[in-house]
Structure 1
Amino acid sequence: MSISTNSNNRPSDEIDLVPLIQALWTNKIIILATTVAGAVISLSLYMTSAEEWTASTYITKSSLYNLYNEVNKKELAAGTSPPQVELQLYSSIQNDLFYTSMGVMASQSISLKESGPKTGRNEAVLYVASATAPSAEQAKSQLKTAMDTANNEAIALNLPALAPENSLRAFNTLDEVKIGNSKNSKKSAALGAFLGLVLGCIFVVGRVLLRQYKSSNPA
């Protein structure tokens, strides 16, 4: 007993990829043209769009011992630590201060993104706080103003009895504010070229499939 391998037994709606690949190669000029056109259009939009500058810095929770000392107005002796019960209490206050300040910053259009430790060691969780504006100075000013406001409001809400002249911070900044241009011409051109390539391939493949359909379903 033998099994027929006649190609005529294959379903009539099966798509043969060979003609599609051949069509893509034959129409490579069209695909190349749409790719170049996509890159040119994307660069044109890039050149005419407004500038975007981003100011950013790393933030993390404030020091637990600084919080304890500030509230209790005393310095711990070297090698000592607060009682465990008090440490848990101030750890809760530390979290409240930090996450309240983050909420205030978010309400002022500050972007907050979690970041891994800089050294890969057992460090505190870091966040990148950033602001975007049409100019570098505006971005830096917006970030600084939002951070100062968030710090003051978080302390006033969670520790209202603390004197205004206290040195406590709701969060710590770990480096200077960095300024960068958010616009990237290379990325813009690459994205436009990729979209042009996809559209060109879709056009060629669609035309081949339409011809195949018409030839298999004559009027």
Structure 2
Amino acid sequence: MNELFARDRREIAPGAVHLPDWLGAEAQRHLVESCRTWAAPPAGLREVLLPGGGAMTARQFCLGWHWYPYGYARTAVDGDGQPVKPMPGELAELGRRAAEEALGEAPAEPYDIALINHYGPGAHMGMHQDRDERSPAPVVSLSLGDTCVFRFGNTETRARPYTDIELRSGDLFVFGGPARYAYHGVPRTDPGSAPPSLGLSGRLNITLRVSGYDA
């Protein structure tokens, strides 16, 4: 695709960095195929029910630790109850490398959580904070498939000020330090915008975190 303006590295806020096209085409295809394997039962892709009675429009599965509103467990407590699959070493290393490249330093503890969301048609994510971990290590977010609007806000409120960023397949977004607990969300995706070579319908978001929990 010919770009009118280059998609360069961009600091959205102190501690929050967008690196476009961080993953090459082959790495993207490999991760999509891996996600298909990881998402299979047991403890596979599920609908996440919220405490108020609603459900997230994005479906999710987890590796390493299982997230549920609002905590972590070693089993899919709000799914089939089975043990969560282990955190793959390749994702832990990807998280370390991403944090180091984006922020100049990787956390001392390894990345041991992967939350993987699939956004189908009409799926979105409301503004929220990632604060169920005990570690303040940077959050690493990798985008695969459809383009989305990623809304990155402030640490005090879900409302403005915030910045809308276009995240495409292969993009990396890392937020840590003073931006670690900023509100963020995905108001919309662009269906059918995924690279055809991925063979992917919708958007996959791989979010890597450090739990701070004892093994």
TM over 0.5: no
Structure with the higher strand share, 1 or 2: 2
* TM norm structure 2: 0.22
Higher RCO, Cα 8 Å, sep 6+: 1
* TM norm structure 1: 0.22
